[in-house]
Amino acid sequence: MSDLYERYKLFFVIVFIAITGFLVWYFSQIVIFIIVAMVISIVGTPLVDILGRIKIGKVRFPHGLSVAITLILMIMIVFGLFSFFIPLVVREASMISQIDTQKLVEHFQSQINWLQTTLLQYGIIQKGATIESSVKTMVLKLIDFNVFSNVLSSIISFTGSFFFNLFSILFLSFFFLYDSTMMPKLLLSVIPEKYTEQARNVMLRSKKLLSRYFIGLIIQIMANILTYSLGLLIVGVNGALVIGFFAGILVIIPYIGGIIAIVTGLLLGLTGLISVGMYDQLLPMSVKIIAAMLAAQMIDNNIFQPYIQGRSVKAHPVEIFIVVIAAASFGGIPGMIVAVPAYGFLKIVAAEFHSSFRLKKELKQEIHKNSNYGR
């Protein structure tokens, strides 16, 4: 059997990878739960360790209670952030609803006429059609009014699945935090014994890398929310906190996150002026918003990102760029988000097993050399 394996080793490796990939795809929801729970456990472990050092008299703080407090604090922080920003989002939606589209069109009628003439000249819209009718047609195509009849059932279904998913992730997170050796033991039980040492090294190094990365990423998001919000407040943008909140979260999307943030910032930042009819201020305010957000992005690109992505993964910017582009072609925006930590993990695996194979090769050469010398 061992001879057969050695002869067709590449074939067995390909089959194993194919089967593993199929199982990951088939049980993708469970895999996502496990990955999210592992990230939560990685981020929460330092706090669990701090609480574990607390002593009440001679009695040490219970480990299970440390884990429960850590999860409760993390949930409170997340829901606290959303509860703070939801009223601001509602206010933005209220301003959008107050926009008088007829006055807006009348104010920009000359520009609309020029644009319509240009579009007709190049055949982008048909003769006899107007920009208004074209936009209405596009909106009607995008909106399926049959969906509204199922809104209530969709909300109920989403709420049920959301709480089920949340419970599943918190359940797994609790046990990953409670017993940090549970997942390593499970993985080691399915790995061939001859690779046990390398697998232990990979898990130890990857845990350190991912801890630095995800904790640093949270710090980066918070810092970006602060810099975006401050920059927009300085230039006098209404809804600066809402824009800063969304822009700060969007930085987790490499490269294109900044572009999406600027477009979102312009749309949200100008709605306040449009809702009160200050159309003459749209151009100056657009320049201010773009300038403030570009300044925040420069701070992020030159200070935050190099210390988080470059140092945590220990990769050259060109490597990260290629990896992100490749991940985008396979998995879109979700692929871009997980590209950097996944690449760091694969680098650890490749380095560990490559060094092992190289050591074996050197040992074989040394043994062969000694055997020839003995003759």
DSSP string, 248-271: HHHTTSTTHHHHHHHHHHHHHHHH
Nearest to 20 by CA among 191, 215, 196: 191
> Mean pLDDT across the stretch 158-181?
81
The residue ranking higher by pLDDT, 324 or 131, is 324
Residue 172 and residue 225 in one domain: no
Residue 84 and residue 203 in one domain: no
Nearest to 303 by CA among 215, 226, 220: 220
How many residues belong to the chain?
Answer: 375
Tokens describing residue 143: 């909106």
Residue 169 and residue 270 in one domain: no
The residue ranking higher by pLDDT, 26 or 331, is 26
Residue 160 lies in a domain: no
Is 291's pLDDT higher than 90? yes
Using DSSP's 3-state secondary structure scheme, residue 60 falls into: strand
The whole-number pLDDT of residue 72 equals 92
Residue 276 lies in a domain: yes
The residue ranking higher by pLDDT, 289 or 155, is 289
What beta strand segments (E) does the chain contain?
55-56, 59-60
The band of 10, judged by pLDDT with boundaries at 50, 70 and 90, is low
Residue 343 and residue 306 in one domain: yes
Using DSSP's 3-state secondary structure scheme, residue 221 falls into: helix
Residues 298-309: pLDDT tens digits? 888 787 776 665
Residue 261 and residue 203 in one domain: yes
**Alpha-carbon 189 to chain mean position:** 31
Residue 350 and residue 260 in one domain: yes
> Mean pLDDT across the stretch 332-345?
76
Amino acid at 347: K
Residue 171 lies in a domain: yes
Q: Which helix (H) or strand (E) is 238 found in, with range?
A: none
Q: Report percent pLDDT > 70 for the chain.
A: 77
The band of 27, judged by pLDDT with boundaries at 50, 70 and 90, is confident
Using DSSP's 3-state secondary structure scheme, residue 55 falls into: strand
Q: Compute the distance between CA of residue 203 and CA of residue 348 in angstroms, rounded to an integer.
A: 9
The band of 295, judged by pLDDT with boundaries at 50, 70 and 90, is very high
Residue 265 and residue 174 in one domain: no
The whole-number pLDDT of residue 89 equals 72
Nearest to 252 by CA among 212, 292, 225, 289: 225
The whole-number pLDDT of residue 292 equals 92
Q: Compute the distance between CA of residue 79 and CA of residue 82 in angstroms, rounded to an integer.
A: 5
The residue ranking higher by pLDDT, 213 or 12, is 213
Residue 85 and residue 204 in one domain: no
The whole-number pLDDT of residue 154 equals 56
Is 155's pLDDT higher than 50? yes
The residue ranking higher by pLDDT, 140 or 229, is 229
Neighbouring C-alpha atoms within 13 Å toward the C-beta of 16:
9
Q: Which of 19-28, 108-117, 127-136, 190-199 has the lowest mean pLDDT?
A: 127-136
The whole-number pLDDT of residue 185 equals 79
With tokens 């401050």, the residue in question is: 230
Q: Compute the distance between CA of residue 158 and CA of residue 265 in angstroms, rounded to an integer.
A: 28
The whole-number pLDDT of residue 371 equals 45
Residue 154 lies in a domain: no
Record the pTM: 0.68
Tokens describing residue 367: 């043994």
The band of 148, judged by pLDDT with boundaries at 50, 70 and 90, is very low
Is 147's pLDDT higher than 50? no
Q: Please give the span between the terminal C-alpha atoms of the chain, in angstroms, as a whole number.
A: 33
Residue 108 lies in a domain: no
- Residue 247's contacts (CB-CB under 8 Å, 6 or more residues apart) are 224, 225, 228, 261, 264, 265, 293, 296
Residue 117 lies in a domain: no
The count of domains in the chain is: 2
Residue 204 and residue 88 in one domain: no
The residue ranking higher by pLDDT, 341 or 228, is 228
DSSP, res 61:
P
The band of 32, judged by pLDDT with boundaries at 50, 70 and 90, is confident
How many Å is the Cα radius of gyration of the chain? 28
Residue 66 lies in a domain: yes
The residue ranking higher by pLDDT, 31 or 9, is 31
The long-range contacts involving 303-311, CB below 8 angstroms and separated by at least 24 positions, are 304/220, 304/223, 304/224, 305/220, 307/216, 308/213, 308/216, 308/217, 308/219, 308/220, 309/213, 309/254, 309/340, 311/212
Residues 52-74: pLDDT tens digits? 888 777 777 788 888 899 999 98
The band of 82, judged by pLDDT with boundaries at 50, 70 and 90, is confident
Residue 209 and residue 351 in one domain: yes
| Residue 82 φ then ψ, to 5° | -70, -40
The whole-number pLDDT of residue 6 equals 63
Q: Compute the distance between CA of residue 214 and CA of residue 43 in angstroms, rounded to an integer.
A: 7
Is 51's pLDDT higher than 80? yes
Q: Compute the distance between CA of residue 224 and CA of residue 245 in angstroms, rounded to an integer.
A: 8
Tokens describing residue 200: 């232990």
| Residue 215 φ then ψ, to 5° | -65, -40
The whole-number pLDDT of residue 160 equals 64
Residue 252 and residue 208 in one domain: yes
Residue 244 and residue 175 in one domain: no
The band of 217, judged by pLDDT with boundaries at 50, 70 and 90, is confident
Is 141's pLDDT higher than 60? no
- Residue 71's contacts (CB-CB under 8 Å, 6 or more residues apart) are 40, 44, 170, 173, 174, 177
The whole-number pLDDT of residue 367 equals 44
Q: Which of 49-58, 134-143, 207-216 has the lowest mean pLDDT?
A: 134-143
Residue 281 lies in a domain: yes
Among 148, 180, 212, the domain boundary falls at 180
The whole-number pLDDT of residue 109 equals 74
Q: Compute the distance between CA of residue 235 and CA of residue 293 in angstroms, rounded to an integer.
A: 11
Tokens describing residue 371: 């055997």
By residue range, what is the domain housing residue 205? 195-364
The residue ranking higher by pLDDT, 356 or 315, is 315
